[in-house]
C-alpha cells in the first residue's frame, strides 16, 4: 500500500505543470529601474581614472594648473630681509634624490586638484632640518582624529602594509594641505568631484561618437521583409541567417561602405539623425566647459568652441593666472612655509614672486609705476605695497 501511495504521488507530480519561480515584485523593480542614470563611482580612484586618465579635458586642466603653479618662482623672506640663500630654499631646490623642485610641486598640486588633499612627508636626520621632502599619495593616506577632533596621526597603507605618522609631539612630520570642504572636517573637496557629472556626460558622448564611427559614421536603419503572400514574418532559420550575415559582413569599421546584397522580399530603410542625436556634439562641448569651469581654466585656453568670455587669448591667460594659479600657489606656499619654518623656529614667509610671472608683467609694471609716483608715501610704505620687506633705514 505504501508503494502504491508513493507511485500515485509521483505520477500526480509529473502530470502537474512545472512551477515557475519568480518574485512578485520583479516587474515593479524592473520598471522602476528602467531609464535610470548610471553615474560612475565617486571614490578617488574611480574619479582619477575617469576624470583624469580617461578624459582629455580633465587631464589638460590638471596639467595646465599644476605645471603653471609649479613653475612660479618662490621667495623666502621675513619682516626685514628677503633671503638669497637659506637652508629651506636649498631643501626646496633639491627635495629628494628622485625629484627636483618643479617635479615635487607638480606632484603636490596634482594631488590637491585630483583628490582635494596633498600630503608632504619630511624625512629627518640628526639635524632639526629635514633631509628630504616626499609627496605621498592621497588615496593611500588616512587621517586619525583624536578625541577632540584634531588629527593625532596619519596612516599610510600600501599593499596591506601600514605605517603611522604620529603628529602629537613637536613639529609634525606630515604637512596636510586640503581644499575647502563644507561637510568634512578632515578631507578636502577636489574640483574633480564637483565636475564628476560633467565628466560622465563628456565620456558618454565620446563613446557614442566612437560607436558611430564603428558603424561607418552612419545611423542605423531598418530591414523590412515582405513575403510573396504579403506576410511580413521571417522563419526562425531565415532570421538567424540574416542576423549572422549583418553582424559578420556589414558591422564594424572594417566593413564600412561594403555593399549589401538583398534577396527577394527584403528592403532597406535608412534612418536619419534625429534632432536629439544632432545635439550630442553641443552636449559634449557644454560638458567640456563645465569641467573647465570647475577647475578654473578659461575654455578658450583649452580650445573649446563656443566660449567668448574673454576678448583675446592674452586676456584669458591673465585671468587664468590671476584667478586660479596665483590663489592656489599662494595658499600652498603659505602652508609649506609655515610648516617648514617650524623646524628652524624662524618667522618666515614663503610666497610666489609676482614680479617674475610673465602673464602678469603688464599689471606689475603699472603697479610699480603707480607706487613710484606716489610722493606722499614713504619708502617703507612703498616697499610694503609691492610685497617687499622693509629696510632698516626706511623712514
Within 10 angstroms of residue 88's Cβ, the number of other Cβ atoms is 21
Nearest Cα residue to 196 out of 37, 35, 39: 39
List, for residues 230-266, the tens digit of each pLDDT value. 556 666 776 677 667 666 655 555 555 555 555 556 6
Residue 116: pLDDT above 80? yes
**Element spanning 32, H or E:** helix 26-33
Q: Degrees (nearest 5) of the Cα angle 178, 180, 363?
A: 90
Residue 74: pLDDT above 50? yes
The better pLDDT of the pair 265, 198 is held by 198
Q: What is the pTM of this model?
A: 0.73
Number of Cα atoms under 13 Å in the Cβ half of residue 280: 14
Residue 131: pLDDT above 80? yes
Domain ranges, ordered by start, for the chain? 38-193+292-352, 220-271, 360-395
- Give the mean pLDDT of 190-210: 87
Query: Please, what is the end-to-end C-alpha distance for the chain in angstroms?
Result: 123
The better pLDDT of the pair 282, 127 is held by 282
Residue 290: pLDDT above 80? yes
The better pLDDT of the pair 77, 42 is held by 77
Residue 61: pLDDT above 90? yes
State the average pLDDT for the chain.
Answer: 78
Cβ neighbors of 11 (< 8 A, separation 6 or more) are: none
pLDDT of res. 38: 53
List, for residues 328-377, the tens digit of each pLDDT value. 999 999 999 999 988 888 888 898 988 888 877 777 777 777 777 787 77
pLDDT above 70 covers a percentage of the chain that reads 69
pLDDT of res. 32: 40
- Give the mean pLDDT of 278-303: 86
Amino acid at each position: 500500500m505504501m508503494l502504491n501511495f508513493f507511485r500515485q504521488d509521483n505520477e500526480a507530480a509529473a502530470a502537474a505543470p512545472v512551477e515557475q519561480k519568480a518574485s512578485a515584485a520583479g516587474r515593479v523593480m524592473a520598471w522602476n529601474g528602467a531609464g535610470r542614470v548610471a553615474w560612475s563611482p565617486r571614490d578617488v580612484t574611480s574619479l582619477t581614472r575617469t576624470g583624469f586618465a580617461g578624459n582629455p579635458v580633465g587631464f589638460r586642466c590638471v596639467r595646465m594648473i599644476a605645471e603653471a603653479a609649479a613653475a612660479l618662482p618662490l621667495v623666502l623672506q621675513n619682516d626685514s630681509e628677503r633671503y638669497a640663500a637659506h637652508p629651506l630654499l636649498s631643501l626646496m631646490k633639491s627635495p629628494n634624490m628622485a625629484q627636483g623642485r618643479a617635479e615635487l610641486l607638480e606632484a603636490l598640486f596634482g594631488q590637491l586638484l585630483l583628490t582635494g588633499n596633498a600630503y608632504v612627508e619630511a624625512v629627518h636626520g640628526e639635524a632639526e632640518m629635514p633631509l628630504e621632502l616626499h609627496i605621498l599619495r592621497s588615496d593611500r593616506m588616512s587621517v586619525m582624529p583624536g578625541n577632540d577632533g584634531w588629527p593625532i596621526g596619519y596612516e599610510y597603507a600600501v599593499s596591506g602594509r601600514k605605517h603611522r605618522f604620529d603628529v602629537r609631539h613637536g613639529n609634525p612630520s606630515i604637512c596636510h594641505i586640503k581644499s575647502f570642504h563644507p561637510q568634512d572636517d578632515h578631507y578636502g573637496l577636489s574640483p574633480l568631484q564637483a565636475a564628476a557629472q560633467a565628466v560622465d556626460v563628456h565620456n558618454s558622448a565620446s563613446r557614442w561618437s566612437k560607436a558611430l564611427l564603428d558603424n561607418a559614421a552612419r545611423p542605423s536603419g531598418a530591414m523590412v521583409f515582405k513575403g510573396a503572400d504579403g506576410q511580413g514574418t521571417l522563419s526562425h532559420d531565415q532570421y538567424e541567417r540574416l542576423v549572422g550575415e549583418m553582424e559578420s559582413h556589414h558591422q564594424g569599421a572594417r566593413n564600412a561602405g561594403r555593399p549589401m546584397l538583398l534577396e527577394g522580399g527584403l528592403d532597406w530603410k535608412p534612418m536619419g539623425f534625429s534632432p536629439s542625436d544632432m545635439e550630442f556634439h553641443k552636449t559634449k562641448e557644454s560638458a567640456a566647459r563645465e569641467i573647465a569651469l570647475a577647475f578654473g581654466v578659461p575654455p578658450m585656453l583649452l580650445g573649446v568652441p563656443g566660449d567668448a568670455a574673454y576678448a583675446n587669448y592674452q586676456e584669458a591667460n591673465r585671468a587664468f593666472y590671476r584667478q586660479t594659479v596665483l590663489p592656489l600657489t599662494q595658499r600652498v606656499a603659505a602652508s609649506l612655509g609655515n610648516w617648514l619654518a617650524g623646524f628652524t623656529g624662524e618667522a618666515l614667509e614663503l610666497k610666489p614672486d609676482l614680479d617674475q610671472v610673465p602673464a602678469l608683467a603688464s599689471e606689475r609694471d603699472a603697479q610699480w609705476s603707480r607706487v613710484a609716483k606716489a610722493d606722499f608715501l614713504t619708502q617703507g610704505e612703498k616697499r610694503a605695497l609691492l610685497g617687499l620687506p622693509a629696510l632698516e633705514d626706511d623712514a
